[in-house]
Amino acid sequence: KELLWDISRQADLEKEKWEENVEVNLFTFLSWHKYVIVLDDMWHTETWDAIKNAIPTNMKNKSKIILTSRNNDEDTHVGRKSSLH
């Protein structure tokens, strides 16, 4: 939840909206905006599982999620092989 709050704060989501029902409010907010989210050095697939419902990933607004990890399982868990570099 702290990671979602941090993303919400950095995206300038109103504090009242990220304090209550952060997943739904962040998803709605990001759906209307173009964004780049950088998740650096993610070690566990559970981290992605905890935030994935709050981040729209199939939007046509060309938003991006950049993930770095030393764990080879992260790449296939988060995205399709065609989205990896």
Strand segments, DSSP code E, in 1-85 are 36-39, 64-67
- Which whole number is the average pLDDT over 16-44? 87
Q: What's the rounded Cα separation, in Å, for the pair 1 and 18?
A: 10
Q: Is the pLDDT of residue 85 over 60?
A: no
Nearest CA to 42 out of 30, 31, 52 is that of 52
Give residue 24's pLDDT. Answer: 92
Q: What is the CA radius of gyration of the chain?
A: 13
Nearest CA to 33 out of 65, 9, 63 is that of 63
Which residues have a Cβ under 8 Å from the Cβ of 53 and sit 6 or more positions away? 23, 27
Give residue 25's pLDDT. Answer: 92
pTM for the full predicted model: 0.76
Name the residue type at position 14.
E
